Chain A
């Protein structure tokens, strides 16, 4: 199925991300094989698959953590394959992590302010001398960060140490931090992992909200089907490093190959019976 052709999207917006024939080998292991994906501006797409399917590896290749063995990643018309992670972030791709990676001992405000660092607008010498330019730019930067925290309703927490926040807020802070540098594309790696149902609902609303508010394109990995089926418009399914299906949530749910990948061979028929029962 490696020659699986992407379904023509009816989205007429400009292309944000275009991945072609992406392959990653870890020694003899083909973690990702001939992966291709196209995202248009404003898309909210999901990437799902059983554990070990290679979803996070794809993320790591997009963000530059791994260099692809083969293939090309184009972001807004520019080839970003093989760039350093920080360069890719500065071009406008932000991500969150499967297990939250905040700067644990820093304050909430500093967590966001670090994300602004590439746009600080003053040089190292200004920073050492604390001159007028530093004062002005630093105030601007801090105010921007505080406004930003207010959008996520974290403004009262600005002085709190990040690791002392409750789990849901840590997730929110991580998303806020990722968005601080105003990326064009946001990659969310299992944002709902470890969340209770109420937190999950609020997260789904948050994702919808940031997409509208920041004019974002979002690609997310998720295991909670409620989240994926609830918010994604288009889903790509991976198994053993290969794309096995693409389509809308409804199409994916009906796809026997997907059910097989998750539940094992022979389970497709069972699932059909089950869904018919549910429909009745």
Chain B
């Protein structure tokens, strides 16, 4: 028989109240760790979206804005980069590869991106993974399109299906005269690529041959065959992904782009721009962490109140222990052990619930939001956090423990009940 066992038996005898208190602690721990996992998961997901690209180049705007529209397809470019400027930069000796991208058209709710076949070789995500095809292959004809996994799944597309590209975003004027054919469907990546329709740069030009200032030119549309014969070199692109020969040259190239005399351009390091983005998002994150920490504190205060309210009914128990030779300090220890037990069981339950929850929502989050939460062991920081919860349990139990100390000093071993 030890104090620990006494505490355990005493808790067990008050199953309902103790259970609810533990549940409150468990849920608060789930919330706290869940927010933490979601936060780091979201960051990792964002960071994983682009790798092995040294620089992103676009018209001069904000670096976060450039990153958002070029990589995440969030928002729009304010300006384009002329083809000449792109060629000029791409032909610099330090630049090992350059993939232009052209955005601005859409298919249903998905964005259409014009690029070169090299895109499929250069784009990599999640630490160096390349794009794979679940069906078909890279576009070979002018009117070939490759669709991301979400596009194929949500619209039921397979290789060989025709698709129509609309001009502009959320536009009703579809380019019905130039139907595309799906040449390949990409594997799921958990990145915005899943929600993109990829065509060649020339195709973007081709569908705009008969269009001027956003409206269709009167007269018969140019036939597909004639379009195939035309010189469809684009006049401008939206942005470009660049690879540099040596990491040391990244800043040289970046400076050259930023100081490009012919037109105002901007080059950003994806990692640096992401950091800048976190700087903005960080405030919201801190608020979220703060709120969930407050929930943990609330649960612990609830536990303290529960112990406190039970004290009067337990005076007899304390008196018996005093008569058996327990000092007031043992009474304090008993209450603290109870609190620590509840804190520890609550935390452990919370961790179990968290992982069950993660397993349950992981596919849904990945599918719906493209947010892939890897199920990994608790980090050292999260472990420390759990220890902090248990330590805080001991701390908040001091209030009822000290009260019990006073009561047991006053009652001694004689309580009339």
Question: Do A and B assemble together?
Answer: no
A-side residues, CB < 8 A to B, are none
